[in-house]
């Protein structure tokens, strides 16, 4: 067998592998898009290429369900979570990277480990606490829990990134008379934009995926988030409103997917910069 | 008696030692804070600590679980108080020591600068940690305590009081047949699940990255974007879509893919074995793009000379992959790959959203595909076995925490070097 044939076989196999991978990856996505245009309501009538494509489900979604309200709620929660997380994490990581204080060495590690403990039973405690301080069924409670959950891991990533910024920069600024906060604001912050952007994206996207906390802490319909709303849509009568769910999913997946695809380079670089150095 | 001892002793009443050291403003501040603390919290602490010891004595006046929650908060408040108190003693002692050694005490202005300087990191870290105490520490203490009570559906407030029962829950998990068998089978599947699902997603991810990264392959960008889609679509949406696709009677997998091939419908949702296969497939689908993307980054950073040198030495493609590519990938991405395992160990979403841990299995109180975390969820949310769920969580936590400690001990990131 000549080198040329060997190469041709290798390339053909490679393309075959890639094509089948693409088929497997794309099929469910195309199927759900197809389903969302299907005239019927049920799972059985869902096909990948609808025969009489229709927009009924999309119209129904806007007219008969609270879909837009859920969407708005989710965007609001995600946005506030993002802003608060970036502020908290940016400041905390700065202290961890540059200062000596009690708890520096083990504080972050402690929380990273504690966070791995499953929280379902503990949600009871959060529920009762929220009830007692009157925050039950508010977005504020949800946001606080999300922000708290995001702090340890992302602080760790940000700290590792800050550590790569030379300390000589701080020192020369200090000699020039800059205060603690000014050093942070004018030197560290501009240099750490890439990692903060990654953290902002993470914090924006992660509340999207949560439906446990949201379903427990939020009870009224008009405060629900997308994940809970969509889940209820198919949990209650699985199959009977599947196409409606499909339409709802498509409208969630497209913007998030696009946002993600356009920014995925930063995700990867942020993760590898902050994570692999360990 | 030395100044340091006198000052520390006097500071048993906060502020007095500071007065003795003639630091009047600081002394007043300490005294004032202490008085405020007692006025604000005395009643709360009194009831809280009483509540956590007794868990209530009278129905329906006392709600045991609320008392437990308040008790935990009281403990946290006491902890903060003790920290402050310790600082007060420490400060008096240190300044007394300075006087013993004939050193000048700092003036008010210097003290102010000291506070700003030393206090700065605490100021930065403080708000975040306070939030973490309430969102992470407080629930965990609550859960830990709950594991030692008899709180469940039949024994729950406000109709009944909950009591401390010691290690009863833990003993029952291992002594009652139904609990022990469930625990063992769920635990076994959790381990199998973690290893197969994660290893598969890592292997597929690395494999596709390597295949895609060959220099002769065209349209790399398009292919990569398509393959990354599962990562881009929110996971809960994809999992719910899969639960439709795999539906036994109407799902497209049985109807449109297997039927034309002449294969009878497979019981994806009703037979534990097939559900497990489906779950592992779904997790690989969801998880490989992340590994692929990361591996691609590593591949592009491997210098081409390495391969050229290998070619000169007569290495085959397989040799190059085995001796250069794979070690490079594993070496750089190992820490992140490990987190993939811990993630799947606790991967609640895929198990719960796909088939709710089901199908049901006889003789045990967990579904056929429940992993520990989804079992805990069902114990808490559906069957209201709160204290048992807490006990299982404690057992699970012991495993996770010891594994995590072992893993983190190897990282150097937290060593002190070059600090200000």
What are B177-182's contacts with CB under 8 Å, separation 24+?
Answer: B178/B363, B178/B364, B178/B365, B179/B365, B179/B388, B181/B363, B181/B364, B182/B364, B182/B365, B182/B366, B182/B375
The CA dihedral of B134, B138, B139, B143, to the nearest 10 degrees, is 180
Q: Report the predicted TM-score, pTM, of the whole model to 2 decimal places.
A: 0.84
Domain total in chain A: 1
Please tell me what DSSP assigns to residue A50: -
**pLDDT reported for residue B191:** 92
The distance from CA B299 to its chain's CA centroid, rounded to whole angstroms, is 31
Nearest CA in chain B to A32: B241
| Arithmetic mean of pLDDT over chain A | 84
Confidence of residue B416 (pLDDT cuts 50, 70, 90): very low
- A142 and A84 in contact (C-beta within 8 Å)? no
Show residues of chain A in contact with B397, CB under 8 Å: 116-118
Show residues of chain A in contact with B146, CB under 8 Å: 121, 124
**pLDDT reported for residue B413:** 46
- The Cα–Cα gap between B40 and A188 comes to 40
Confidence of residue B237 (pLDDT cuts 50, 70, 90): confident
Nearest CA in chain B to A160: B413
Cβ count within 10 A of residue A103? 13
Confidence of residue B87 (pLDDT cuts 50, 70, 90): confident
The reply to whether residue B420 touches residue A48, judged by beta carbons under 8 angstroms, is no
Return the CATH number at A203.
1.10.3720.10
pLDDT digits (tens, 9 = 90+) for B269-290: 889 999 999 999 999 999 999 8
Is B227 in a helix, a strand, or coil?
A: helix
pLDDT digits (tens, 9 = 90+) for A162-176: 888 888 888 888 888
pLDDT top residue among A75 and A235: A75
**pLDDT reported for residue A44:** 66
Structure tokens at A78: 């995600």
- The Cα–Cα gap between A73 and A67 comes to 10
Is A2 in a helix, a strand, or coil?
A: coil
Owning domain of residue A159: 66-275
Whether residue B52 is predicted with pLDDT greater than 70 in this model: the reply is yes
Confidence of residue B208 (pLDDT cuts 50, 70, 90): very high
- The Cα–Cα gap between B259 and A23 comes to 18
**pLDDT reported for residue A238:** 56
Q: Which of A108, A144, A246 sits opposite B131 (nearest CB)?
A: A144
Chain B interface mutation, best of A111, A122, A184, A254, highest count of B Cβ atoms under 10 Å:
A122
Among A38-47, A181-190, B121-130, B211-220, which is the least confidently predicted range? A38-47
Convert B339-377 into a string of H (helix), E (strand) and C (coil). HHHHHHHCCHHHHHHHHCCCCCCCCCCCCCCCCHHHHHH
What are the distances in angstroms from CA A220 to CA A66, A70, A225?
11, 11, 10
Whether residue B342 is predicted with pLDDT greater than 70 in this model: the reply is yes
The distance from CA A276 to its chain's CA centroid, rounded to whole angstroms, is 21
Closest CA to B412 of A52, A151, A49, A105: A105
Please tell me what DSSP assigns to residue B155: B
Pick B174-408's CATH classification: 3.40.190.10, 1.10.3720.10, 3.40.50.2300, 3.20.20.20.
1.10.3720.10
- B157 and B384 in contact (C-beta within 8 Å)? no
Confidence of residue B233 (pLDDT cuts 50, 70, 90): confident
Nearest CA in chain A to B339: A275
B372 CB within 8 Å of a chain A CB: yes
Closest CA to A92 of B54, B163, B124: B124
pLDDT top residue among A269 and A3: A3
Q: Which of B122, B231, B234 sits opposite A208 (nearest CB)?
A: B234
- The Cα–Cα gap between B222 and B252 comes to 27
Residue A35 counted as domain residue: no
Q: List chain B domain ranges.
A: 3-146, 174-408
Count A/B contacts: CB-CB distance under 8 Å.
Answer: 292
- A34 and A46 in contact (C-beta within 8 Å)? yes
Show residues of chain A in contact with B249, CB under 8 Å: 44
**pLDDT reported for residue B418:** 40
Handedness of CA A61, A63, A66, A72 (dihedral sign): positive
Residue A137 counted as domain residue: yes
pLDDT digits (tens, 9 = 90+) for B91-100: 888 888 888 8
Is A233 in a helix, a strand, or coil?
A: helix
pLDDT digits (tens, 9 = 90+) for B287-319: 999 899 888 888 887 888 888 888 888 888 888
B280 CB within 8 Å of a chain A CB: no
B314 CB within 8 Å of a chain A CB: no
Is A219 in a helix, a strand, or coil?
A: coil
**Planar angle of CA A138, B351, A139, nearest 5 degrees:** 5
Residue A266 counted as domain residue: yes
**pLDDT reported for residue B12:** 85
The reply to whether residue B401 touches residue A116, judged by beta carbons under 8 angstroms, is yes
Q: Which of B137, B225, B396 sits opposite A118 (nearest CB)?
A: B396
pLDDT digits (tens, 9 = 90+) for B12-42: 888 888 888 888 888 888 899 999 998 988 8
pLDDT digits (tens, 9 = 90+) for B351-380: 998 888 878 887 778 888 999 889 988 888
Could you tell me which residues come within 8 angstroms of residue A206 by beta carbon, excluding any fewer than 6 positions away?
A81, A146, A149, A150
Q: Which of B70, B339, B420 sits opposite A100 (nearest CB)?
A: B420
What are the distances in angstroms from CA A54 to CA A26, A36, A47, A60?
22, 8, 13, 11
Among A125-134, B73-82, B149-158, B399-408, which is the least confidently predicted range? B399-408
**pLDDT reported for residue A276:** 45
**pLDDT reported for residue A109:** 78
- B88 and B81 in contact (C-beta within 8 Å)? no
The distance from CA B316 to its chain's CA centroid, rounded to whole angstroms, is 44
């Amino acid at each position: 067998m000549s080198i040329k044939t060997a190469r041709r076989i290798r390339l053909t196999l490679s393309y075959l592998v890639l094509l089948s991978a693409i088929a497997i990856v794309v099929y469910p996505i195309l199927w759900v898009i197809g389903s969302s245009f299907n005239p019927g309501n049920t799972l059985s009538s869902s096909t990948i290429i609808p025969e009489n494509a229709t927009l009924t489900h999309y119209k129904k979604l806007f007219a008969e369900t609270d879909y837009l309200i859920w969407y708005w709620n989710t965007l609001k929660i995600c946005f506030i979570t993002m802003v608060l997380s970036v502020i908290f994490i940016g400041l905390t990581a700065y202290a961890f990277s540059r200062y000596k204080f009690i708890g520096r060495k083990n504080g972050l590690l402690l929380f990273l480990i504690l966070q791995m403990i499953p929280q379902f039973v503990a949600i009871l405690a959060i529920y009762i606490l929220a009830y007692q301080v009157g925050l039950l069924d508010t977005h504020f409670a949800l946001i606080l829990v999300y922000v708290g959950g995001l702090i340890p891991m992302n602080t760790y990533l940000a700290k590792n990134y800050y550590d790569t910024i030379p300390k000589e920069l701080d020192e020369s600024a200090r000699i020039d008379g800059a205060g603690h906060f000014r050093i942070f604001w004018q030197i560290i912050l501009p240099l750490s934009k890439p990692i903060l952007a990654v953290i902002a994206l993470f914090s924006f996207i992660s509340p999207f995926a949560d439906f446990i906390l949201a379903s427990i802490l939020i009870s009224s319909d008009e405060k629900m988030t997308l994940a809970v709303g969509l889940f209820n849509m198919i949990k209650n009568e699985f199959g009977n409103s599947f196409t409606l769910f499909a339409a709802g999913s498509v409208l969630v997946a497209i913007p998030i997917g696009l946002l993600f695809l356009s920014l995925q380079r930063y995700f990867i670089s942020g993760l590898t910069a902050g994570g692999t150095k360990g | 008696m030395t100044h340091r001892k006198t000052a520390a002793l006097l500071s048993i009443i906060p502020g007095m030692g500071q007065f003795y050291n003639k630091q009047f403003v600081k002394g007043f501040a300490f005294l004032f804070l202490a008085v405020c603390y007692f006025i604000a919290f005395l009643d709360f602490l009194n009831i809280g600590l009483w509540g956590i010891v007794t868990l209530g004595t009278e129905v329906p006046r006392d709600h045991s679980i609320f008392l437990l929650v308040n008790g935990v908060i009281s403990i946290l408040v006491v902890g903060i108080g003790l920290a402050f108190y310790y600082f007060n003693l420490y400060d008096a002692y240190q300044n007394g020591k300075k006087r013993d050694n004939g050193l000048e005490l700092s003036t008010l202005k210097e003290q102010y600068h000291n506070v700003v300087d030393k206090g700065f990191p605490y100021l930065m870290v403080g708000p975040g940690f306070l939030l973490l105490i309430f969102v992470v520490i407080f629930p965990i203490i609550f859960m830990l305590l709950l594991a030692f009570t008899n709180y469940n559906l039949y024994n729950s407030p406000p109709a009944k009081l909950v009591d401390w029962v010691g290690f009863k829950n833990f003993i029952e998990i291992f002594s009652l047949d139904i609990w022990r068998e469930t625990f063992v089978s769920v635990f076994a599947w959790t381990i199998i699940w973690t290893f197969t699902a994660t290893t598969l997603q890592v292997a597929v991810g690395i494999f596709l990255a390597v295949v895609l990264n060959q220099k002769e392959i065209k349209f790399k960008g398009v292919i990569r974007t398509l393959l990354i889609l599962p990562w881009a679509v929110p996971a809960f949406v994809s999992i719910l879509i899969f639960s439709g696709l795999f539906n036994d009677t109407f799902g497209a997998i049985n109807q449109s893919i297997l039927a034309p091939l002449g294969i009878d419908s497979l019981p994806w949702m009703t037979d534990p074995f097939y559900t497990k296969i489906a779950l592992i497939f779904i997790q690989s689908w969801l998880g490989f793009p992340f590994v692929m993307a990361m591996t691609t980054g590593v591949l592009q950073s491997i210098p081409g000379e390495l391969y050229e040198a290998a070619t000169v030495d007569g290495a085959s493609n397989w040799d190059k992959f085995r001796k250069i590519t794979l070690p490079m990938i594993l070496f750089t991405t190992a820490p992140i790959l490990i987190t993939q395992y811990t993630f799947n160990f606790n991967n609640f979403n895929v198990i719960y959203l796909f088939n709710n841990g089901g199908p049901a299995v006889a003789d045990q109180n967990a579904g056929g595909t429940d992993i520990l975390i989804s079992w805990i969820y069902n114990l808490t949310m559906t069957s209201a076995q709160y204290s048992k769920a807490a006990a299982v969580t404690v057992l699970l936590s012991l495993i996770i925490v010891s594994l995590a400690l072992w893993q983190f001990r190897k990282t150097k990131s937290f060593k002190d070097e070059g600090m200000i």
